[in-house]
């Protein structure tokens, strides 16, 4: 019988439960960091390809280095492959061997549970598990036999920009914006090195959006976290990203800094940027 952990989750709820089913793993060793031009590289993506079961190309030879401790935005028209690329990075689908390296190691060689603890993920719509906010935050560590203290839970809430008084509130009583921050605290409870975010603020009002953006910047600055965010909002990417990957039709057509987005050369990319502004 195949291991349940390697089956592809089909819904965001399954995926979120999947990602939280983690084991204790070694913290990454700074000495293992890849360096290029003096910059530390977290992920190396090499000729990453995905073809659908019907033979339609979804990703076409993606090549990019994701720097450590930076916020990287992925933007592009609908259906261009942004989520597919993101989901390869913690094996929500299995990229071919030799195409995705984390700290220099092929992620196909890593234990999938350890990988998903190191590379946490937040989805567009948060799903709260049964119980209180504290139960939700304790969920991941508890699976590895670790019970977070009340103090640790409250610190995680604060880190996610939530008032610690939410501790005992029912998960189902939260607004979407509050639930998204609890989902973030729940992901952070696993002490990831990398955060993957798939349109995490598209269902949120501007204030909740700002709370999440502030929190991401804080995680980058205080913890050196590597953050990769798919967003439809070019303005959001310009506010928070250090580097922007622009995708069109399954191809990574430009890698730019946010202030140079207008220099994109691909005609479809130019049209997308023009219409999005």
Ligand X SMILES: Nc1ncnc2c1ncn2[C@@H]1O[C@H](COP(=O)(O)OP(=O)(O)OP(=O)(O)O)[C@@H](O)[C@H]1O
Q: Which chain residues interact with ligand X by CB under 6 A?
A: 52, 58, 76, 78-84
Q: How far is the CB of 14 from ligand X (least distance, A)?
A: 14
Q: How many residues can be counted in the chain?
A: 277
Instruction: Select 36 or 235, whichever has its Cβ closest to ligand X.
Output: 235
Instruction: Select 25 or 125, whichever has its Cβ closest to ligand X.
Output: 125
Q: Which residues contact 125 (CB under 8 A, 6 or more apart)?
A: 12, 176, 203
Long-range CB contact pairs, 6-13, < 8 A, 24+: 6/94, 6/112, 8/92, 8/93, 9/92, 12/123, 12/124, 12/125, 12/127, 13/127
Instruction: Select 79 or 224, whichever has its Cβ closest to ligand X.
Output: 79
Partners of 101 in the beta sheet?
Answer: 44, 106
Instruction: Select 21 or 58, whichever has its Cβ closest to ligand X.
Output: 58
The two tokens of residue 171 are: 């998960």
Pairing verdict, β 100-102 and 39-51: antiparallel
Q: How far is the CB of 74 from ligand X (least distance, A)?
A: 8
Q: How far is the CB of 182 from ligand X (least distance, A)?
A: 23
Q: How far is the CB of 231 from ligand X (least distance, A)?
A: 9
Q: How far is the CB of 232 from ligand X (least distance, A)?
A: 6
Instruction: Select 127 or 143, whichever has its Cβ closest to ligand X.
Output: 127
Q: How far is the CB of 81 from ligand X (least distance, A)?
A: 4
Instruction: Select 28 or 83, whichever has its Cβ closest to ligand X.
Output: 83
Q: How many angstroms separate the CA atoms of 162 and 56, rounded?
A: 43
Q: How far is the CB of 174 from ligand X (least distance, A)?
A: 24
Instruction: Select 80 or 154, whichever has its Cβ closest to ligand X.
Output: 80
């Amino acid at each position: 019988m195949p291991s349940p952990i390697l089956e592809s989750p089909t819904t965001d709820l399954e995926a979120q439960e999947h990602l939280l089913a983690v084991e204790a793993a070694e913290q990454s060793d700074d000495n293992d960091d890849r360096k290029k031009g003096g910059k530390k590289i977290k992920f190396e993506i090499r000729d990453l390809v995905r073809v659908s079961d019907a033979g339609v190309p979804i990703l076409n030879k993606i090549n990019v280095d994701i720097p450590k401790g930076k916020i990287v935005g992925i933007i592009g028209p609908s259906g261009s492959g942004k989520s597919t690329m993101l989901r390869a990075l913690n094996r929500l689908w299995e990229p071919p061997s030799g195409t995705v390296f984390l700290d220099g190691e092929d992620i196909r060689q890593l234990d999938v549970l350890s990988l998903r603890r190191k590379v946490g993920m937040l989805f567009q719509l948060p799903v709260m598990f049964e119980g209180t906010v504290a139960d939700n935050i304790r969920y991941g560590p508890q699976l590895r036999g670790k019970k977070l203290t009340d103090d640790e839970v409250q610190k995680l809430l604060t880190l996610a920009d939530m008032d610690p008084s939410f501790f005992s509130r029912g998960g189902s009583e939260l607004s979407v914006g509050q639930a998204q921050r609890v989902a973030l605290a729940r992901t952070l409870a696993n002490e990831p090195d990398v955060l993957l975010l798939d349109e995490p603020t598209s269902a949120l009002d501007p204030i909740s959006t700002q709370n999440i953006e502030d929190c991401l910047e804080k995680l980058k600055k205080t913890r050196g976290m590597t953050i990769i965010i798919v967003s439809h909002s070019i303005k959001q990417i310009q506010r928070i990203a250090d580097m922007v990957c622009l995708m069109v039709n399954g191809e990574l057509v430009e890698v730019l800094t946010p202030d140079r987005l207008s220099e994109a050369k691909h005609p479809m990319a130019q049209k997308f940027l023009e219409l999005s502004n």
